[in-house]
Structure 1
Amino acid sequence: MNAYQKGMDAMQAGNYEEAITHFRQALESAPDNPLLYTNMGSLLARAGEYKQALACYQRAIQLDDKQAGAYYGAGNISYNVENYQEALQFYRQAEAVGMDDQSLHMMIGMCEYQLDNLPFAMARLQRAVELDPDDEDARFYFGLTLAKSELIAEAIEAFQTVIGKNEGHADAHYNLGIAYFSKAENKKALDYFNKTLELQPDHYLAAHGKKQVKKATEN
């Protein structure tokens, strides 16, 4: 337990290599502790050692099939390698054993968005926003889902809220440009494309959007 506590302290301080060393020592004394494997998996994932991290999560689940954190961590690994269907299965398993927090709703929503299951994505991302109104990623992807569902007014509101919290969010400006262009409000669209390029000069989609607005205006 002393090694475990040292590992937790090191992890919270951001000293991941030191934390891994302590957790390995703890596992020598308690090789059947599922929580240790879950924490080790989290540390290895942060270090980019995904294969080893997944093995730790799987071992944690073998020892305790109600280890929600292990399911969630395995889901994150699958999501990072763009295996969205597998990630969704892991996240749903985490939920089935009792996990119910903002990050889980966010990641389920992200999977559903990537899989083009828009109604499910919208419900989950909306819940994530409700649980943490300051999470700009959740609100941004909620806006993307609304826009993709052709709920343009609602999408505009979501993107404007993101910008209200982070004026430098280039992609929120870009998507506002797209939303206003779809409404044939070309002046507003051009303003947002210009702002995007001011924030991120190499944003080629905004540059293309700007050309499309000018072409539509000329016509």
Structure 2
Amino acid sequence: MDFDAIDDFVYNIIGIIGSDHRNLCSAVNFALEYTGKKSFPPKFLLDLSNACKQQKMFTEQYVFAKACFIQASEKLREDACFALGNAAHVLGFSTEAEANYLEILKENPGNADVRCAYAELLLELRKTPEAEKEYNTVLETSPQHLKANAGYAYLLAERGYVSEAEEYYSTALAVDPDYVPARGGYANLLFELGRLRDAEKEYRLAMELDPEDPSLHHNCGVLLSFLGRSSEAEIEYRKALSLNPRHRRTLFNYGNLLAREGRVSEAEAQYVEALALDQNDAKVHSNYANLLARFGRRYEAEMEYKKALHLDPESAEGHYSYGNLLSEMGRLSEAEDEYKKALVLNPYYPPLHYSYGLLMRKMRRFDEAKIQYMKAMQLDPDIGSKMTETWIILD
């Protein structure tokens, strides 16, 4: 095998792809022409695809798998189709991924790994009943199947069946204690159940098994932040971003941590980066607005509140926070409108009643102020001591 030729081949593919997915067809055509000239067998292309998957080079995985799929037959074609489907899935080509999975299952309905991969795709497409059917099909014939148990556990956890989910995670981990999706998913479940020490232990084990997974570092950071261990949480967030600078949830939650600590410019940088990736995230706009309002940048804060509420008009916290800003700006009738909207959405939020009472005092409507204060204290007798800050962070 000419290793220099192989290196040139791979570098040419990387160069053709560049940063534009529209070049994938050109890259596939080049791969077919090159392997034809060099007489490389189709199996060689699948080997390259699998090597790219290990390096998380998913566009290159896709190209080599597709070139193999076009040339291969029988079992090799099935393997190439699966690799192509997985790469398409990761790259967000959902329709193509589904078509590849279904092609395999039509010819080989007993391929459990493909059925589990298809179920995972269906979950992402919010087709939960269809995903459950796929997992059950596997588990009926293979009750110890690793991926089916881990995937079905995730599905059950999402539906709120936590005890059943824990059973399936336990089965998966008994089959393979080193299976990272099961270990990480079980950690998430334990976090939700409030078993925080166990959750941290599972996150640590998962990160030892796969230290290059940004989601694990992010999730562990969220747990550590929840526990008040901010410096440790920051380490995990920074690690996640070093692995994937575009990991949007890390940018959001790291921004939240920095905002709580009053590190304004650093927090702002995280929020701005998160919004550059997705301008339609209402929570990021809302938290960014809270940060700006807290430090006196009221005009900018108002613009962010408006964006947040346009995206999520049903956010009680958003209306409450915007009402606080309007009250500070002396626009009292507008503030009252926002508080009223918030009360319709959530009449059981003590800070809202307390702040509404403060507004009534400003407007010299003392009887109404008293009513709101009493409602706030009924919901939380210690509310007065907690209202040193009116801005909130949405996690």
Q: TM-score, normalised by structure 1?
A: 0.77
Alignment of 1:165-180 (within 5 A): 165-180=345-360
Deviations 1:35-94 (A, max 9, x none): 322222222222322111111111122222222222222112112223333222221122
Alignment of 1:48-63 (within 5 A): 48-63=228-243
Residue of structure 2 equivalent to 1:90: 270
Tell me how far 1:113 sits from its aligned partner: 1.0
Distance 1:81 1:142 in 2: 22
Report the secondary structure of 1:65's partner residue. coil
Report the secondary structure of 2:228's partner residue. coil
Higher mean alpha-carbon deviation, 46-55 vs 173-182, is at 173-182
Residue of structure 2 equivalent to 1:2: 179
Deviations 1:114-159 (A, max 9, x none): 1111122122223323333343222111101111222221111111
2:203 to 23, 44, 49: 23
Tell me how far 1:97 sits from its aligned partner: 3.4
Amino acid paired to 2:228: G
Tell me how far 1:106 sits from its aligned partner: 1.4
Instruction: Give aligned-pair identity as a percent.
Output: 22
The higher radius of gyration belongs to 2
Distance 1:177 1:141 in 2: 15
Question: Is contact 1:160-1:172 (8 Å) kept?
Answer: no
Unpaired runs of 5+ in structure 1?
206-219
Tell me how far 1:101 sits from its aligned partner: 1.4
What is the Cα-based RMSD across aligned positions, in Å?
Answer: 2.8
Q: How many residues align?
A: 205
Question: Is contact 2:186-2:202 (8 Å) kept?
Answer: no
Report the secondary structure of 2:293's partner residue. helix
Report the secondary structure of 1:72's partner residue. helix
2:326 to 131, 142, 146: 146
Distance 1:34 1:172 in 2: 36
Describe the shift of the 1:36–1:203 C-alpha distance in structure 2 as closer, same or farther (beyond 3 A).
closer
- Whether 1:67 and 2:247 are equivalent positions in the alignment is yes
Alignment of 1:151-162 (within 5 A): 151-162=331-342
Amino acid paired to 1:12: L
Residue of structure 1 equivalent to 2:284: 104
- Structure scoring higher RCO (CA < 8 A, sep ≥ 6) equals 1
Higher mean alpha-carbon deviation, 108-117 vs 24-33, is at 24-33
Tell me how far 1:104 sits from its aligned partner: 0.8
Question: Is contact 2:183-2:206 (8 Å) kept?
Answer: no
Distance 2:181 2:235 in 1: 19
Amino acid paired to 1:11: N
Q: TM-score, normalised by structure 2?
A: 0.46
Describe the shift of the 1:30–1:192 C-alpha distance in structure 2 as closer, same or farther (beyond 3 A).
closer
Distance 1:204 1:3 in 2: 46
Distance 2:257 2:221 in 1: 10
Question: Is contact 2:184-2:216 (8 Å) kept?
Answer: no
Report the secondary structure of 1:116's partner residue. coil
Higher mean alpha-carbon deviation, 80-89 vs 143-152, is at 80-89
Distance 2:350 2:336 in 1: 14
Unpaired runs of 5+ in structure 2?
1-177, 386-395
Distance 1:107 1:21 in 2: 30
Question: Is contact 1:103-1:128 (8 Å) kept?
Answer: yes
Tell me how far 1:193 sits from its aligned partner: 4.8
Describe the shift of the 1:198–1:70 C-alpha distance in structure 2 as closer, same or farther (beyond 3 A).
closer
Describe the shift of the 1:174–1:48 C-alpha distance in structure 2 as closer, same or farther (beyond 3 A).
closer
